[in-house]
Amino acid sequence: MIGKIFSNNCPRRERRKEARPGELLAAALELFVEKGYAATRSEEVARRAGVSKGTLFLYFATKEELFKAVVRENIAGRFAEWNTEFETFEGSTPEMLRYALVMWWERIGKTPAAGITKLMMSEAVNFPELAAFYQQEVIEPGHELIRRILQRGVDRGEFRPMDMEHAIFAVLAPMIFLMSWKHSFGACVSSATLLDPERYLEQQAQILLHGLCSPDTAGKATSQGKT
Amino acid sequence: MIGKIFSNNCPRRERRKEARPGELLAAALELFVEKGYAATRSEEVARRAGVSKGTLFLYFATKEELFKAVVRENIAGRFAEWNTEFETFEGSTPEMLRYALVMWWERIGKTPAAGITKLMMSEAVNFPELAAFYQQEVIEPGHELIRRILQRGVDRGEFRPMDMEHAIFAVLAPMIFLMSWKHSFGACVSSATLLDPERYLEQQAQILLHGLCSPDTAGKATSQGKT
Amino acid sequence: MIGKIFSNNCPRRERRKEARPGELLAAALELFVEKGYAATRSEEVARRAGVSKGTLFLYFATKEELFKAVVRENIAGRFAEWNTEFETFEGSTPEMLRYALVMWWERIGKTPAAGITKLMMSEAVNFPELAAFYQQEVIEPGHELIRRILQRGVDRGEFRPMDMEHAIFAVLAPMIFLMSWKHSFGACVSSATLLDPERYLEQQAQILLHGLCSPDTAGKATSQGKT
Amino acid sequence: MIGKIFSNNCPRRERRKEARPGELLAAALELFVEKGYAATRSEEVARRAGVSKGTLFLYFATKEELFKAVVRENIAGRFAEWNTEFETFEGSTPEMLRYALVMWWERIGKTPAAGITKLMMSEAVNFPELAAFYQQEVIEPGHELIRRILQRGVDRGEFRPMDMEHAIFAVLAPMIFLMSWKHSFGACVSSATLLDPERYLEQQAQILLHGLCSPDTAGKATSQGKT
DNA sequence: AATGAATGAGGGTTCATTCAT
DNA sequence: GATGAATGAACCCTCATTCAT
């Protein structure tokens, strides 16, 4: 009984043991995002997780495995939740689009998870298998979600007809750009900090919806586009 | 006689000597873009340039210097030329914006130089000094050019007033995105090839100018934006 | 039980860990003395210490650091002990001088530490920082000790007054010479082995004290010297 | 005729060509003495001699050959001349000894040739063949000359009988020491410059002849020595 | 003979990975 | 399981040497 109390009250070892992989993944995420795959040393990952080098390799057979695990771990399948939000959203599609960008920033863009995308893009070529996984788990569901939003707008007559597949990239690009910028120049070149993500996204929504043209000229130029 | 003069002017060794740095930079560009900075072995750069390891270091003191040279080489001051084009452009600003995107794709986006930007973004954190150089030599002139285009549009009443600094990113983002995408997933995930850069840019110009909204709704929604 | 305690206190790994730096320094001392700084390969140092190349760099960050450590290790502050001996010495100063030379040979000259001085003199120009260290930690205390001996002799009327600073070198020179000789020609030219260090030092003490001249002529020639 | 005048007056090419090996040896001597064998780079030798790297190897097949040539070249057989001086010297042997030390300094010690001895001692172990050559060409004749001087003193009753072979080293040591010191600490540690070679040698002669002891005590202590 | 571009073996150093404790 | 000392393959870079010109 008493033994049980102790083991329940103070199972630091036990709990640590179970938490280990998570702590290692967290440390690795930070470091990979901070310095890139190659420049991250396994010893430092271990140290930051508070364990020894040997322990790291107890949980992840190789650095490559660790990297893959970090990416997989941090690509939470949020799409179920988001699809639900999409289906229950009641406002206009322009509002939905604006909402999507803002929510994305809150939930992904400003979190360390954004670093993963940047990382994934930097290393895609060296980890094609991982890139394929990412494609399947993130890119495709993401595209699908954006496609549904855009289609909703078209269906409801809020958006003009469009080349859907490329329009998806029009919505995606500001997000990708923001993650890339934040985790590259944004992290080291002072003047690059001029970019305020929230204002940028707000304005981006505006432009996506209405463009840069002043209202009176908007009609005329349209005819030129191939779209 | 004349033949002799020519053959004297270009003995093989000399010609190689002058060509070497260029050949090495070309090989290095390819490999850096292909595999990233760390994963590129200097010996392979040399081999791809058709020389021995030692020769590489005859022209570039360290791998880091080689990297810097590759970056510098591939961002040659195109801005002078572009500024001139800007000043002599006679059409409307929407046309100018569309033209700028198309030309950028022709001259940079689809060339290996685009890989450099991707590379630079991946390695900025590891080479802060180089990032500062890039910021100064590429980012700032680029921003300035975009700023002048947008300002021209505003001044001529073609564009509505805007938060200029963030609007610059609105124009920049599609280009950055395209380079990042092309040199990451675009290079290894088959389905990602759905993105046709030229159509994307064309459509992007269209959206930048007029947005996604159908003409009749365009006016109403505008009021919401903070911009 | 007691046996267990002992075996617990000294597990093999731990013992090695503590012994490693010493083993590496010993191996490095041998090799540096044997072949000089540049000609000594770090891998060979490691091999001679019975470890792999990587292990060497676990304990000494660079070859230069290893060299410095070897030099520092082998000039341990013997001067405290020697100064004490000096202060408690009860015989005449000529006896003291003879004793100093003999003791120096026993404790330094005939040990591998002598090779360090030879090495240091060969490499001083290439490691000015280390040379300064050596100057401060070895040369100056050594000079000071010799100075005190000579001054004692002068003060007690045993030695004639002298140009002290140069006289120091008169005492030092036989020792430096002996180390240099032993670790150069003495190590490879057979006939150079004619030099018996102990007899040489004994005779050197004799000469330092009384010169080469036969007693009756000693007085006359003295007048010429500048000293 | 005129042709001859020209070729005589301005045979720069011709004269250079013949002088080449000498210029290379001079440059090599300087650099070897300055930085040691290993730290001297063949390209720098060539540059200092005003020729290209290739030319150096035209005259000396390997760096090792160059080194050997430098040593051989700079070990002028001065002993014939010195033996003559010895034979025609008319003063006392103490005067001769003093004269020998002073002359040695003038003709060798203070010239770059002294650097050779220092170099030879540093590298003896790595170039045993060269050390043997040095032993034969310099050490043995040098010993022989010193031996003759000392023997002359003994024969004429100016010096007391002595252990001749070790006494030779007593005369040699100050010279060896001076060369070693000058080309090691003397070249980089400021305080080591306290040593004034000429005063040192003068005093050394004095000590060699009469020792450090004050005249009245000289007689007593003598009995102890083994010599 | 002279040049200097080119070579490539070899050395110092790093770091992912192993394994005895 | 956990540790951290040990390993050694692999990398960047140097520089004596070669050789086409």
3-state secondary structure chain D: CHHHHHHHHCCHHHHHHHHHHHHHHHHHHHHHHHHCCCCCCHHHHHHHHCCCHHHHHHHCCCHHHHHHHHHHHCCCCCHHHHHHHHHHCCCCHHHHHHHHHHHHHHHHHCCCHHHHHHHHHHHHHHCHHHHHHHHHHHHHHHHHHHHHHHHHHHHCCCECCCCHHHHHHHHHHHHHHHHHHHCCHHHCCHHHHHCCHHHHHHHHHHHHHHCCECHHHHHHHHHHCCC
- What gap in Å lies between CA D100 and CA C128, rounded to an integer? 34
Contact D180, D192 (CB under 8 A): no
Average pLDDT, chain C: 86
- What gap in Å lies between CA D25 and CA D165, rounded to an integer? 35
Q: Measured between CB atoms, does C22 come within 8 Å of chain D?
A: no
Domain B74-213 has CATH 1.10.357: yes
Establish whether domains D2-71 and D79-211 are of one fold.
Answer: no
**Of the candidates B15, B181, B75, D212, the residue with the CA atom closest to the CA atom of residue C169:** D212
**Of the candidates B159, B211, B166, B168, the residue with the CA atom closest to the CA atom of residue A167:** B211
Q: Measured between CB atoms, does D207 come within 8 Å of chain C?
A: yes
Closest-CA distance, B2 to chain A, in angstroms, reads: 51
Helix (H, G, I), strand (E, B) or coil at C149: helix
Which residues are CB-neighbours of B156 under 8 A, at least 6 positions away? Answer: B92, B93
Residue from A217, A220, A224 to probe the interface with B (highest B Cβ count within 10 Å):
A217
Chain A: touching chains (3 or more CB pairs < 8 Å): B
Q: Measured between CB atoms, does A91 come within 8 Å of chain B?
A: no
The CA–C1' separation of A10 and F1, in angstroms, is 18
**Of the candidates D50, D66, D58, the residue with the CA atom closest to the CA atom of residue D12:** D50
- What gap in Å lies between CA B139 and CA A191, rounded to an integer? 10
Helix (H, G, I), strand (E, B) or coil at C97: helix
Four-way CATH pick for D79-211: 3.40.50, 2.10.10, 3.30.70, 1.10.357: 1.10.357
Q: Where are chain A's structural domains?
A: 2-73, 79-211
* More confident of the two residues D194 and A22: A22
Closest-CA distance, C31 to chain D, in angstroms, reads: 12
Contacts within 8 Å (CB) and 24+ apart, C159-166: C159/C93, C159/D212, C159/D213, C159/D214, C160/D212, C160/D213, C160/D214, C160/D215, C162/C227, C162/D203, C162/D212, C163/C227, C163/D199, C163/D203, C165/D194, C166/C227, C166/D195, C166/D196, C166/D199, C166/D200, C166/D203
C74-212: CATH class: mainly alpha
C199/D226 CB distance under 8 A: yes
Q: How far is CA C55 from CA C42, C64, D111, in A?
A: 11, 16, 46
To the nearest 10°, report the CA torsion of C123, C125, C127, C133: 100
Q: How far is CA A164 from the centre of its chain?
A: 22
- What gap in Å lies between CA A194 and CA D15, rounded to an integer? 69
Q: How far is CA D169 from CA C192, D140, D144, in A?
A: 11, 12, 11
pLDDT at A24: 96
10 Å Cβ neighbour count for B225?
16
Q: How far is CA D162 from CA A66, A157, C202, D152, in A?
A: 79, 121, 12, 12
Which residues of A, range 62-81, sit inside 8 Å of B by Cβ? none
Contact B20, B51 (CB under 8 A): yes
Dihedral of alpha carbons B61, B63, B66, B67, sign: negative
A166/B125 CB distance under 8 A: no
Give the residue on D whose Cα is nearest the Cα of C185.
Answer: D124
Name the residue with the least CA to C1' distance from nucleotide F10.
B41
One-letter amino acid for residue A6 of the chain: F
The CA–C1' separation of B42 and E9, in angstroms, is 17
Q: Which CATH architecture group holds A2-73?
A: Orthogonal Bundle (1.10)
Closest-CA distance, C57 to chain D, in angstroms, reads: 23
Residue with tokens 């034969």, as numbered in its chain: D136
Residue C159, beta-bridge partner list: D213
- What gap in Å lies between CA C208 and CA C173, rounded to an integer? 11
Q: Measured between CB atoms, does C61 come within 8 Å of chain D?
A: no
Tokens of B216: 């009749």
A227/B202 CB distance under 8 A: yes
pLDDT at B221: 42
The CA–C1' separation of C10 and E10, in angstroms, is 40
pLDDT at C6: 42
**Burial level of D54, CB count in 10 A (0-12/13-18/19+)?**
exposed
pLDDT at B19: 79
Instruction: Quote the Cα angle for B132-B135-B140, to 5°.
Output: 145
- What gap in Å lies between CA B152 and CA C123, rounded to an integer? 69
Whether CB of D42 is under 7 Å from strand E: the answer is no
Whether CB of D16 is under 7 Å from strand E: the answer is yes
Closest-CA distance, C83 to chain D, in angstroms, reads: 22
pLDDT at A82: 92
Helix (H, G, I), strand (E, B) or coil at C144: helix
* CATH code assigned to C2-67: 1.10.10.60
pLDDT at A54: 95
pLDDT at D75: 81
Q: pLDDT tens digits, residue range C49-102?
A: 999 999 999 999 999 999 999 999 888 778 888 999 999 999 999 999 999 999
Supply φ then ψ for residue A159, to 5 degrees: -105, 150
Name the residue with the least CA to C1' distance from nucleotide E10.
C41
Dihedral of alpha carbons A48, A50, A55, A60, sign: negative
DSSP state of C223: T
B124/A226 CB distance under 8 A: no
Instruction: Say which nucleotide is closest to residue D57, CA to C1' distance.
Output: F17
pLDDT at C192: 59
Helix (H, G, I), strand (E, B) or coil at A195: coil
Q: Which pLDDT band holds residue C3 (cuts at 50, 70, 90)?
A: very low
Give the residue on C whose Cα is nearest the Cα of D124.
Answer: C184
Q: Please, which positions of strand F sit below 7 A from a protein CB?
A: 1-21
A36/B34 CB distance under 8 A: no
C213/D217 CB distance under 8 A: no
Which residues of C, range 111-170, sit inside 8 Å of D by Cβ? 118, 120-126, 128, 131-132, 134-135, 139-140, 150, 153, 157-160, 162-163, 165-167, 169-170
* More confident of the two residues B144 and C12: B144
pLDDT at A202: 93
Q: pLDDT tens digits, residue range C176-195?
A: 999 999 999 988 877 656 78
Residues in chain D where the model's pLDDT stays below 70: 1-18, 191-193, 212-227
One-letter amino acid for residue C75 of the chain: I
**Of the candidates C36, C37, C55, C58, the residue with the CA atom closest to the CA atom of residue C46:** C55
Q: pLDDT tens digits, residue range A24-74?
A: 999 999 999 999 999 999 999 999 999 999 999 999 999 999 999 999 888
Contact A93, A149 (CB under 8 A): yes
B200/A169 CB distance under 8 A: yes
Whether CB of D23 is under 7 Å from strand E: the answer is no
Give the residue on A whose Cα is nearest the Cα of B204.
Answer: A170
Residue A213, beta-bridge partner list: B159
Report percent pLDDT > 70 for chain D.
Answer: 84
The CA–C1' separation of C39 and F14, in angstroms, is 15
Dihedral of alpha carbons A188, A191, A192, A196, sign: positive
pLDDT at B10: 47
Supply φ then ψ for residue B44, to 5 degrees: -70, -35
Q: Measured between CB atoms, does D5 come within 8 Å of chain C?
A: no
* CATH code assigned to B11-72: 1.10.10.60
Q: Which pLDDT band holds residue A2 (cuts at 50, 70, 90)?
A: very low
pLDDT at B106: 95
- What gap in Å lies between CA A198 and CA B209, rounded to an integer? 21
Show pLDDT as tens, one digit a residue, over chain B (227 residues).
444 444 444 445 555 677 789 999 999 999 999 999 999 999 999 999 999 999 999 999 999 999 999 998 888 778 888 999 999 999 999 999 999 999 999 999 999 999 999 999 999 999 998 899 999 889 999 999 999 999 999 999 999 899 999 999 999 999 999 999 999 998 887 766 679 999 999 999 999 998 767 665 444 444 444 44
pLDDT at D215: 60
DSSP state of B165: H
Dihedral of alpha carbons C71, C74, C77, C82, sign: negative
Closest-CA distance, C98 to chain D, in angstroms, reads: 10
Whether CB of C89 is under 7 Å from strand E: the answer is no
Q: Measured between CB atoms, does D31 come within 8 Å of chain C?
A: no
- What gap in Å lies between CA C103 and CA C93, rounded to an integer? 15
- Using the predicted structure, report yes or no on whether residue C227 has a pLDDT greater than 90: no
Per CB-CB distance under 8 Å, the chain B contacts of A220 are: none
Helix (H, G, I), strand (E, B) or coil at A38: coil
Helix (H, G, I), strand (E, B) or coil at C159: strand
pLDDT at D149: 95
Closest-CA distance, C55 to chain D, in angstroms, reads: 26
Do you know the residue count of chain D?
Answer: 227
Chain D: touching chains (3 or more CB pairs < 8 Å): C
Residue from B150, B212, B222, B226 to probe the interface with A (highest A Cβ count within 10 Å):
B212
Helix (H, G, I), strand (E, B) or coil at A213: strand
The answer, yes or no, to whether D and A have at least 3 beta-carbon pairs within 8 Å is no
Fold (topology level) of D2-71 = Arc Repressor Mutant, subunit A (1.10.10)
- Pick from B125, B185, B204: which is nearest to A187 by CB? B125
pLDDT at D192: 61
Q: pLDDT tens digits, residue range B38-91?
A: 999 999 999 999 999 999 999 999 999 999 999 988 887 788 889 999 999 999
pLDDT at C214: 66
- What gap in Å lies between CA B108 and CA B179, rounded to an integer? 9
B124/A217 CB distance under 8 A: no
